[in-house]
Amino acid sequence: MEKLILYGGNRLTGEVSVSGAKNAILPILAATVIGGNESTIFNVPKLRDVEVMEEILIALGCNIKRVDNMMWVDSKPLNQIKIPDELAREMRSSIILMGAMLSRCGEVIISYPGGCEIGPRPIDMHLKALKDLGAEIEESHGFIYSKGKELKGTEIQLDYPSVGATENIILAAIKAKGTTIIRNAAREPEIVDLQNYLNKAGAKINGAGTSIVIIEGVDQLENVTYNTMPDRIVAGTYMIASAITKGEIILKNVIIDHLQGVIAKLKEAGCLIYSDENSLKIIGPEKINSIEMVQTLPYPGFPTDMQAQIMALLSIANGTSIISETVFENRFKHVEELIRMGANIKTFGKVAIIKGVKELTGAKTTAKDLRGGASLVLAGLAAKGKTEIENIYHIKRGYENFHNTLRELGAHIELVK
């Protein structure tokens, strides 16, 4: 089994061009099935999750060509309504194919989705909203059968601004009769990217990025060319790689606005950050300041997908920090691994108290999920001696060429097969 081996202590310096966003391209790829049209998409990252979505689209009958970071999808030949089991279970975002396939075929069969084990992650809001749009949904033996030949626009009030549920509703409503209004919609930038892609293809969506999204049903979509937004979580992870190694990293291809929550906390930790239109330089401090409180929240709050990484940084801060995870139930699996490396962290439900230690020491660790795995890499960059990280398939779900990029920045890291 592949593992990562790191020897910590090197200062990282240099430039990284940030790849396209995993959480933007996945719903966009789901959206490609709706129109029976051709989509040419640029800035598509090479990640396991993207490959899974590509395999699902091929299994449904789509034609796909991939050249470097360009993907061309022709969804005209789509002729299946069942999402293959093993692929649906590998990735939780497969659930957004429900909305897209209802738009396209009026019918879809999918097994309960998988993904990171970070809490119960129910899909009740997705199912309720699709029913409100007129879909009939039956659940049996681990499968969800949905039918809805004629979805009708309606008003949907979400109990919580769920990213996936907002995307699923948008996808289902694209060709529905009339207008759909989503209230308390998630405001994440990836939803704006989905709106931009779909509107470029001829959809009529307004309001993405605010808590009210309005979708007017259209009859058809046109061929479209689109450029995926940069990955704000990948950018944030490299920012912490710089912060934790007293480094100096320049990030190209970033949208500064998307990073404000992370920038504010890293400044509190003592980092110097300079930015212009779409690049950013971050200089790590000699001594990392503790942070009184990091609370994860829906966008524009501090992202839950950066919680594990900032915890790695705070584990060697000067003083005690508190992290409150409000988005997911069970997102502290990296804590026991960081403790193996000498961190002093205690958790109480959704709160973690991190007492900064002088230094971390290398240890044998296991990635338990995607961002938790990234936090172990970051900890290993700063730790004294050798760190081993197993189960790195989790990390490959979200970081393109991670170890090579870190090595180019000066890290002592290798992938062992």
Buried b (16+ CB within 10 A) or exposed e, 194-230: bbbbbebbbbebebbbeeebbbebbeebeebebbbbb
Q: Is 380 helix (H, G, I), strand (E, B) or coil?
A: helix
Pick from 272, 261, 269: nearest CA to 299 = 261
Q: Residue with the closest Cβ to ligand UD1?
A: 164
Work out how close the CB of 34 gets to ligand UD1 at its nearest, in angstroms, rounded to a whole number.
Answer: 18
Binding mask 14-53 for ligand UD1 (x = CB under 6 A): ---------x--x---------------------------
Work out how close the CB of 192 gets to ligand UD1 at its nearest, in angstroms, rounded to a whole number.
Answer: 13
Rounded Cα distance, 295 and 307, in Å: 9
**Between 233 and 413, whose beta carbon lies closer to ligand UD1?**
233
DSSP one-letter string for 128-170: HHHHHTT-EEEEETTEEEEE-SS-B--EEE-SS--HHHHHHHH
Binding mask 143-162 for ligand UD1 (x = CB under 6 A): -----------------x-x
Q: Which tokens hold the place of 109?
A: 């069969």
**Between 115 and 153, whose beta carbon lies closer to ligand UD1?**
115
Segment interacting with ligand UD1, rule: CB under 6 A, options 52-60, 117-125, 343-351, 389-397 = 117-125
**Between 194 and 291, whose beta carbon lies closer to ligand UD1?**
194
Segment interacting with ligand UD1, rule: CB under 6 A, options 124-132, 285-293, 341-349, 402-410 = 124-132
**Between 63 and 211, whose beta carbon lies closer to ligand UD1?**
211
Q: Could you say which of 30, 130, 327, 411 contacts ligand UD1 (CB under 6 A)?
A: 327
Segment interacting with ligand UD1, rule: CB under 6 A, options 115-123, 235-243, 255-263, 311-319 = 115-123
Q: Is beta strand 136-140 parallel, antiparallel or unpaired with respect to 224-227? A: unpaired
Q: Could you say which of 25, 31, 123, 176 contacts ligand UD1 (CB under 6 A)?
A: 123
**Between 288 and 323, whose beta carbon lies closer to ligand UD1?**
323
- Range 294-313, binding ligand UD1 (CB under 6 A): 304-305
Pick from 360, 314, 375: nearest CA to 118 = 375
Question: Active-site positions?
Answer: 116
Q: What are phi and psi of 45, to 5 degrees?
A: -70, 150
- Range 175-194, binding ligand UD1 (CB under 6 A): 186, 190
Whether 278 contacts 252, CB under 8 Å: yes
**Between 160 and 274, whose beta carbon lies closer to ligand UD1?**
160
Q: Is 326 helix (H, G, I), strand (E, B) or coil?
A: coil
DSSP one-letter string for 53-89: HHHHHHHHT-EEEEETTEEEEE-TT----B--HHHHH
Q: Could you say which of 31, 73, 165, 205 contacts ligand UD1 (CB under 6 A)?
A: 165
Across the strands, what pairs with 271? none
Whether 236 contacts 263, CB under 8 Å: no
Pick from 275, 270, 241: nearest CA to 258 = 275
Q: Can residue 414 be called a binding residue for ligand UD1 (CB under 6 A)?
A: no
Would you tell me which residues interact with ligand UD1 (CB under 6 A)?
Answer: 23, 26, 92-93, 119-126, 160, 162-165, 186, 190, 304-305, 327-328
